[in-house]
C-alpha cells in the first residue's frame, strides 16, 4: 500500500498507473486500519514534510506508525540528517531498536532503520 501525504506532491496517478494500490492520508490523523497490521513501513521525507507544516509533531507521526506496525515489524525512514538525528531519540522512547545508516554520496540525508520489539507481558 502506498500512502501519499495530503500536503506533499500528488504521485497517486503514477502509482495507480503502475497497478499498485495507493491512498491519500494526513499523517496527523489516525490511519484508517486495524492496529498492528503492517510488517514494514517505509517513509521517504515524511518527517521533514510533517514538521515543516507545523500541524503535528514528529512524535505524533511515529506514535501512529507504532500503532499500525506489528511487533517485530520494521520501519525505514529516509530524511534529512538533522531530522533523523532528532527522530532517533524519539524512537528510543517508543522502545524501538534503532540504528543510523549513512547514505553513500549524500551527506544531507540518512536512513533510520528501526525494529519494533515483541514485548511479553509478565
Summarised one tens digit per residue, pLDDT across range 21-74 is 999 999 989 999 999 999 999 999 999 998 888 888 999 999 999 999 999 999
Q: Which domain holds residue 33?
A: 29-116
The neighbouring-strand residues paired with 112 are 77, 100
pLDDT (0 to 100) of residue 119: 82
Indicate whether 1 belongs to any domain. Answer: no
Asked if 24 contacts 6 with a C-beta cutoff of 8 angstroms, the reply is yes
* pLDDT cut 90: percent of the chain above it: 77
| Residue 121 pLDDT level (bands cut at 50, 70, 90) | confident
Instruction: Return the C-alpha cell found at 31.
Output: 490511519
Looking at the predicted structure, is the pLDDT value of residue 122 above 80?
no
Strand 69-80 vs strand 2-5: parallel, antiparallel, or unpaired? unpaired
Count Cβ atoms within 10 A of the Cβ of residue 122 and give its class: 0-12 exposed, 13-18 middle, 19 or more buried. exposed
What's the domain count of the chain? 1
pLDDT (0 to 100) of residue 1: 83
How many C-alpha atoms does 31 have within 13 Å on its Cβ side? Answer: 26
Indicate whether 64 belongs to any domain. Answer: yes
Amino acid at each position: 500500500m502506498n500512502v501519499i501525504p495530503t500536503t506533499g506532491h500528488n504521485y497517486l496517478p503514477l502509482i495507480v498507473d503502475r497497478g499498485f494500490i495507493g491512498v491519500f492520508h494526513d499523517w496527523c490523523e489516525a490511519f484508517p486500519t486495524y492496529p498492528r497490521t503492517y510488517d514494514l513501513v517505509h517513509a521517504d521525507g515524511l518527517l521533514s514534510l510533517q514538521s515543516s507544516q507545523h500541524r503535528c509533531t514528529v512524535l505524533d507521526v511515529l506514535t501512529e506508525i507504532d500503532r499500525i506496525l506489528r511487533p517485530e515489524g520494521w520501519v525505514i525512514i529516509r530524511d534529512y540528517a538533522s531530522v533523523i538525528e532528532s527522530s532517533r531519540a524519539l524512537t528510543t522512547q517508543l522502545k524501538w531498536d534503532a540504528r543510523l545508516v549513512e547514505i553513500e554520496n549524500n551527506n544531507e540525508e540518512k536512513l533510520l532503520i528501526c525494529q519494533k520489539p515483541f514485548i511479553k507481558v509478565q
